[in-house]
Each structure stands twice: as structure tokens, then as C-alpha cells.
Chain A
Amino acid sequence: DQSVATYSPDGKVYQVEYALKAIENSGTTIGVRCKDGVVLGVEKLLTSKMLAPGSNRRVHSVDDHITVAVTGLLADGRVLVKRAADECRGYRQNFGEPIPPKVLAERMAGFFHAFTSYWAYRPYGATLTIGGYDAELGEHELYQAEPTGDVGRYFGIAVGKGTRSAKTEIEKYAFGEKTCSEALGYLAKIMHTVHDDVKDKPFELELSWVTAETGWRAATVPADARDAANAWAL
């Protein structure tokens, strides 16, 4: 199981599975598709009390209309975000229109997959949760691309430490019927429920959205809205 280029006798590629384990050790990311947009929330564990708030971001805008959250090895995530931004830019240059989120998610999945095929490379240890707006369809969409090369479009998705409990919580609330502003409080609540106060360090909640309110531009949720959500959740 030491090489990506080898199957195990029971038909698995262990290196890819170990990559997924690396992601399971990271702070939880939750993405939900609401009535009027997509919201991404990240449990950013604060590794040091000296960290300035708002630094070490795990959520990035890769284009005007797409926001991406990284879960797993953040250094790997940085490379992936840069690649996603390059794809967005190149697409716009060649085709004169913003990249549909579906195309970006599938391209990133292809990129991930390439690293599962050669013995000289290791798979990326990070998952991308992608929220974006497709102007031609008039639809907001939520995708997730994983180091295995899998990609899917979701109503709600969680990845990281608290995946299991987060997924249960997400299914409980009908996010599809809430507006993004309404959803913020519930998202914060899930994050606080899922966060293990005993075992883990304190966390900062990073929120980002693409919604009708922001004119379908990817943006960080304003600090006061985020603080209100945190206060409501606790």
C-alpha cells in the first residue's frame, strides 16, 4: 500500500484512502444550497492564540462568482485554489464568459484524478467545496471535488472532522427553503454542535457566500452578520 500506482488485493488504492484520512483530521467544512444562494462555512481551528483573526483563510474566491473552501492539508489546498483560479481565468479568456461551476468542479476533479495515476506523485490531501452561480442557467450550485477524483453536486455537504454528525444535522434542517441570511444562524449552530470543545482548540467560523443579495458575487459574509449568527447559535 506504499504506492499510488498499486492496487491492493481487495481492489483499493490505499494511498488515496490515506489521503482521505488526512482530510478527516482537519476542521469541518459545511456547504449548503439555500433558496437564494450557496453558503460555505469552515471551522477554522486556531492553532495558536497569537494568530491574527482573519488570517490563515480556508475559504477563497477563485472568480467573481465562485467561492471555494479547502479541507485537509492547507498547503495542498493553496495549490488547488491557485489552479482553480487559473482555470477560471483561462476559461474567461478563451470563451469570453464566466466559467460555469459545473465545468470548474469537473476540471478540478480531473486534476485531482491525475495525481492518483502516477507512482511519482502523491494524491492531494485536500477536498474542495465549491459554491458558485451559473449566469446562463440562472442557477446557484454547490459542488465537492475530492482527492479520489470524485465530484458531485449537492444540496448540502460536510467534510472534515465532524462530517458524520454535520451531515445528520444538515439533513435535519431544510436549507433549500431558507434564504442565505436565515441559514447563517443554523450553519453556525451546526458548527458549534459538531465542534468538540474538549478535544479541540477553539475555532473561528469562516463564512462565505454567493447569493442574490450580493448580486451573485462570491463574498465573505460581513463580520456583523457572522457575529450575529454565532451569538444566535450559542
Chain B
Amino acid sequence: SAADTQAISDMVRRYIGEHALDKGRLPTVKSAAHMFRTVCYNNKDRLMAGIICAGWDPVKGGQVYSVPIGGTCVRQPFSIGGSGSTYIYGYVDSAFREGMNRDECVEFVRTSLSHAMARDGSSGGVIRMVIIDEDGTERKFVPG
């Protein structure tokens, strides 16, 4: 549920902030993802949250980690989630290529989401995108 994901995000934001202060440098995406995993796994009987933790750090560059319901944590080249994701597994598996540049990735995300929004009754409205690289974050908004 959205409420669970917000609550978990708040918790992880606090722990990762502390962690970054202790280390004296930027937290890694891996440690943030593992923090999500710790919270989700230890409270698996009370939470229902599927999370994708992705970003950039100077150690491994861009990374995507999936933390689905139950609290697994696995790194993947790309990840999809939510009710609409079931309709686009075929599409993303055929369309994704390693080493796409920034614009190709944005196109990939936008097309995938549009397909899901078209088919899934519970998906729709707008697309909110965040692009994260070593220079920072950029937010994109695509109206339905």
C-alpha cells in the first residue's frame, strides 16, 4: 500500500542519513536497498510494500535493486512492479537492452508505462519520472 511505502521510506531516509554521517560520505544504493530489505523483512507480517530502490553512487554507478513483498533484495538491470506490471512483462523483456543512453531509457520507461496504463484498470492518470545520475536528479512529469 502507498501508506506503507511512505512510512518505510521515511524510516529508511532517517537511517541512511545517520549512516552517511557515520561514514562521512554518500551512502551507496546497495546500503539503502538493504536498509529497505531489513525493514520489510523484519516486519513482513504487518507490511504490504513492493519497493524498487534505484540510484547512483560513486562505487558502482547506476544501480537498480528490487525489494518486493516479503523482503527479498536483489539487484537487477531493470525492474517493474505494481498491478499494471503484469501486462508489460513481455514488452519490457523484448524492449530492454543493456547500455541504453539516457534518452533511450526515458523512452523505454514512458512506453512501458503507457502500455500498462492502457491495459490495467488500476493504473492511469499521469507518469512521474525521476532520472538520477552523478550530476543529481531530474524530475519529469508526463500527463495522461
Which A residues contact B (CB, under 8 angstroms)?
93-97, 100, 102-103, 106, 136
- Chain B residue numbers with a CB within 8 Å of A102 are 22-24
- The residue on A at minimum CB distance from B73 is A96
Number of interface residues of B (CB under 8 A): 16
- Assuming the contacts A136-B28, A136-B59, asked whether A93 and B38 have C-beta atoms less than 8 A apart, the reply is yes
* A100 and B15 alpha carbons, distance in the complex (Å): 16
- Chain A residue numbers with a CB within 8 Å of B24 are 102
- Assuming the contacts A95-B34, A97-B31, asked whether A103 and B22 have C-beta atoms less than 8 A apart, the reply is yes
- Chain A residue numbers with a CB within 8 Å of B34 are 93-97
Question: Would you give 14 A-B contacts (Cβ < 8 Å), ordered by A?
Answer: A93-B38, A94-B15, A94-B35, A95-B34, A96-B31, A96-B33, A96-B37, A97-B30, A97-B31, A100-B23, A102-B22, A102-B24, A136-B28, A136-B59
- Chain B residue numbers with a CB within 8 Å of A106 are 22
* A93 and B73 alpha carbons, distance in the complex (Å): 12
15 more CB-based (< 8 A) A-B contacts, given A103-B22, A106-B22: A93-B38, A94-B15, A94-B34, A94-B35, A95-B19, A95-B30, A95-B31, A96-B33, A96-B37, A96-B73, A97-B28, A97-B34, A102-B22, A102-B23, A102-B24
Which B residues contact A (CB, under 8 angstroms)?
15, 19, 22-25, 28, 30-31, 33-35, 37-38, 59, 73
- Chain A residue numbers with a CB within 8 Å of B28 are 97, 136
- The residue on A at minimum CB distance from B37 is A96
User: Shortest Cβ distance from B86 into chain A, in angstroms?
Assistant: 29
* A100 and B25 alpha carbons, distance in the complex (Å): 11
- Chain A residue numbers with a CB within 8 Å of B37 are 96
- Chain A residue numbers with a CB within 8 Å of B22 are 102-103, 106
- Chain A residue numbers with a CB within 8 Å of B31 are 95-97
* A100 and B24 alpha carbons, distance in the complex (Å): 10
- Assuming the contacts A136-B28, A136-B59, asked whether A94 and B23 have C-beta atoms less than 8 A apart, the reply is no
- Chain A residue numbers with a CB within 8 Å of B15 are 94
* A136 and B24 alpha carbons, distance in the complex (Å): 12
* A228 and B59 alpha carbons, distance in the complex (Å): 39
* A7 and B15 alpha carbons, distance in the complex (Å): 35
User: Shortest Cβ distance from B73 into chain A, in angstroms?
Assistant: 7
- The residue on A at minimum CB distance from B16 is A95
- Verify A96–B59 contact, CB threshold 8 A: no
* A94 and B71 alpha carbons, distance in the complex (Å): 12
* A102 and B59 alpha carbons, distance in the complex (Å): 18
* A106 and B19 alpha carbons, distance in the complex (Å): 12
- Tell which of A96, A103, A106 has the most Cβ of chain B within 10 Å: A96
- The residue on B at minimum CB distance from A96 is B34
- Chain B residue numbers with a CB within 8 Å of A96 are 30-31, 33-34, 37, 73
